[in-house]
Amino acid sequence: MSYQLTRRAVLAVYAVLVIVPLVVVIFGSFKTSQDLFASPFAPPTTWRGGNYQKVVGESGLGVAFRNSVIVTGLSVPLTLFVASLASYGIARTTGWKSALLFGFIVLGMAVPAQANMIPQYVQFETFGLTNSLLGLVLINIVTTLPIAVFIMTGFLKTLPKELFEAAAVDGSGPWRTYRSVVLPVSVPSLSATAIFLFVIHWNDLLYPLLFINDAAKRTIPVALLSFQGEFLTDYPLLFTGVVVASAPIVIAYVFLQRYFVAGITAGAVKG
Amino acid sequence: MSTTLKPASPPEAPTLPTPEKPGGRNPMAAHPALWLFPVPALVLYVTFFVIPTIQGVIYSVTDWDGFSPTAQFVGLDNFVTIFTSDDLFRNALSNNIKFMLVVVVFQTIFSLVLAVFLSKNSKSSVALRSVFFFPTILSSVSVAFIWKFVYDPNFGLINSVLEAVGLGRFQSAFLGNDNQAIYWVALTQVWFHVGQMMIIFIAGLQQIPQELYESAETDGASRWQQFRHITLPMVAPATAIVMAYTTVQSFKAFDLILGLGGNPPKSSLDILSTRIYSGFANSQFGYAAAESLVFMALIAAITWIQRRAVKASNPDA
């Protein structure tokens, strides 16, 4: 049947287009430039870890990796915390004030980071928050807050009212309800949002590029970008950098795929 | 998607009898303290997002260099320059539009085709979906480095393969060719995000009632006719989302351009976001702030036009 044939051919070709470059990168990270250029698709004849030593040690990607772990490790939970608090407040109140609050925060999604980065830089500079990992954590929270509030408020509004009313009847104040009802019930939504934030915060280039001058405070994407000047066309080193930079996300993807798809797609479907 | 974001079964409501409502409060009404919960978010958002946005508008009517304590008010001069005599801005805008057109057309079509082929939840489809989705999770810089090698004129994957199969005459300089460079970056962007858009389409396709296809089948409709008259109109809401998202994404392709085109990128790869960044790097804060506002307005306008167009073409959607 020609439909099935077309389908298989298209899928096979596209699978090759996705998989082959990735395999070339992984193999290449163990090769020398000569080996890579001579036979880019072949597995390395010997699996030499020299590129990894060089990239993590000398080129400072190790330090950048640590910085990224710190920044992402703080940004994701803090964004979730601040956004879930706000979402709970918005979802449980009614009337025009609540709607206005929601609209005001969510409007932030319409402002592209590249359009806001210059005055933000000035503001962070004023507060002494440039060239600091704390500054990066703050900007991560602020820039992803609107979408996180959007996703989580949408989720909380789907919960049955009786859930909150039962807690209130039981004498639970809003704070206790937040901790012992809202958070446990929101685990699926929080996880998907966490993954979404993890990918954005870990991969963000714009703000660290803008805010950080000190090489010791670079995060992974900035350090990686600086490779292109340093190593020009030493592709095996670039590839090694790519593998190191992507490792945490790829490992998470393997184990938490469902949340990746849910989270990243929820981020896209913001209406 | 919303389907996967379903709440876990809620924990059982507390059963302890507590006859007295605290403070005689009606449990059905919102507790006033609930208004305090958005406060931390609001403080951060206003301080580091809203105030800067407003400041940006103020900078845009000055010639501020970013350092001097004072700046000259220049009225709308910056905007006049942008629209009448800034060739760099015009060049960046034109690159941005070329980039957008290629990305929107190819990404929408490819992701829809892949979604149609993978919409059934068979084992192989689910596996392929996760392969196609994979590039989305990488950083733009990583994707840029991978494709730098794919496109390398001397050692790159495409030229090597062309050489090996005797099609050496089709070899190209890719990014080195100023007339084509932006299109090659656009194709990289498609590779990067097509899987994400495919997932949105699959969610849309799975909501189409199967009976529609069954009755079309009995009426003798061909696969193409089914696609044209059932799939396409029914998936229109997803198409609208994909196109809007892709457009906005394509305007923000900052990281990919810097990764493939260097920092600052050469003029054949300069887009609006990299132009604004250059303005920042060159201490033209006021001017770059004006460019930022134009940039923002442009994205808003395109999104709005698209929405209208999608609505007009699908009155039922």
Summarised one tens digit per residue, pLDDT across range B265-278 is: 889 999 999 999 99
Average pLDDT over residues B147-156: 90
The percent of residues in chain B predicted with pLDDT above 70, rounded, is: 89
- Closest residue on chain B to A102 (Cα): B38
pLDDT for B114: 97
- Closest residue on chain A to B307 (Cα): A271
pLDDT for B19: 46
Residue of A101, A92, A99 lying closest to A177 (CA atoms)? A92
Q: Measure B179 CA to nearest chain A CA, in Å.
A: 23
* Chain A contact set for B254 (CB, 8 A): 114, 205-206
pLDDT for B17: 46
* CB within 8 Å: B155 and A40: yes
Alpha helix stretches (DSSP H) within B219-253: 223-226, 232-234, 236-251
* CB-nearest partner of B262 from A94, A178, A228: A228
Report the residue of B4, B54, B245 to disrupt the A interface, i.e. the one with the largest count of A CBs within 10 Å: B4
As a whole number, the mean pLDDT across chain B is 86
More confident residue, B113 or B177: B113
* Chain A contact set for B245 (CB, 8 A): 268
pLDDT band at residue B315 under the 50/70/90 scheme: low
3-state secondary structure of B138: coil
Distance CA B244, CA B56 (A): 25
- For the record, the structure tokens of B159 come out as 């030229």
B1 has pLDDT over 80: no
* Chain B contact set for A116 (CB, 8 A): 49, 52-53, 56, 292
Q: Report if residue B164 sits inside a domain.
A: yes
How many separate domains does chain B show?
1
* CB within 8 Å: A11 and B118: yes
Q: Report if residue B55 sits inside a domain.
A: no
pLDDT for B14: 46
Domain spanning A57-268: CATH 1.10.3720.10:
yes
Q: Measure A19 CA to nearest chain B CA, in Å.
A: 8
Region of B118 on the Ramachandran plot (φ > 0 left; ψ -120 to 50 alpha; else beta): alpha
| Range 259-288 of B in CB contact (< 8 A) with A | 259, 262-263, 272-273, 276-277, 279-280, 285, 288
| Range 212-251 of A in CB contact (< 8 A) with B | 220-221, 224-225, 227-229, 233, 235, 238-239, 241-242, 245-246, 249-250
Q: Report if residue B111 sits inside a domain.
A: yes
C-alpha R_g of chain A: 23
Residue of B138, B142, B144, B226 lying closest to B184 (CA atoms)? B144
pLDDT single digits (tens) B182-229: 999 999 999 999 999 999 999 899 999 999 999 998 998 888 999 999
pLDDT single digits (tens) B162-193: 988 888 888 888 888 889 999 999 999 999 99
Provide the CATH number for the domain around residue B239: 1.10.3720.10
pLDDT for A94: 87
Residue of B117, B265, B25 lying closest to A168 (CA atoms)? B25
- Which whole-number Å values give the CA distances from A259 to A141, A154, B125, in the listed order? 20, 17, 18
Distance CA B45, CA A99 (A): 17
More confident residue, A139 or B8: A139
Check: CB of residue A192 under 8 Å from CB of residue B4.
yes
Per-residue pLDDT of chain A (271 residues; tens, 9 = 90+): 688 899 999 999 999 999 999 999 999 999 988 889 888 898 998 888 888 988 888 778 889 999 999 999 999 999 999 999 999 999 998 889 999 999 999 999 888 888 889 899 999 999 999 999 999 999 999 999 999 999 999 999 988 888 888 888 888 888 999 999 999 999 988 998 999 899 999 999 999 999 999 989 999 999 999 887 766 678 999 999 999 999 999 999 999 888 888 887 776 664 3
* CB within 8 Å: A142 and B28: no
Distance CA B110, CA B133 (A): 13
Q: Measure B21 CA to nearest chain A CA, in Å.
A: 6
**Domain assignment of residue B260, given as a range:** 63-313
Residue type, A53: Q
Rounded to 5 degrees, what angle do the CA atoms B117, B122, B124 make? 75
Q: Give this prediction's pTM.
A: 0.88
| Range 52-81 of A in CB contact (< 8 A) with B | none
Please enumerate in sequence order all residues whose Cβ is within 8 A of that of B230, keeping only pairs 6 or more positions apart, or say none: B208, B212, B213, B216
Q: Report if residue B145 sits inside a domain.
A: yes
* CA-CA-CA-CA torsion sign (B260, B264, B266, B270): positive
Residue type, B98: K
| Range 24-83 of B in CB contact (< 8 A) with A | 25, 27-28, 30-31, 33-38, 40-42, 44-45, 47-53, 55-56, 59, 66
Q: Measure A49 CA to nearest chain B CA, in Å.
A: 19
- First CA to last CA across chain B, in angstroms? 19
Q: Measure A58 CA to nearest chain B CA, in Å.
A: 20
Please enumerate in sequence order all residues whose Cβ is within 8 A of that of B231, keeping only pairs 6 or more positions apart, or say none: B116, B205, B208
Distance CA B276, CA B259 (A): 17
Give the start-to-end residue ranges of the domains of chain A: 2-48, 57-268
Report the residue of B34, B118, B140 to disrupt the A interface, i.e. the one with the largest count of A CBs within 10 Å: B34
Q: Report if residue B54 sits inside a domain.
A: no
pLDDT single digits (tens) B10-68: 444 444 444 444 445 565 567 888 899 999 999 999 999 999 999 999 999 998 888 88
Whether residue A94 lies within 8 A of chain B, CB to CB, comes out as: yes
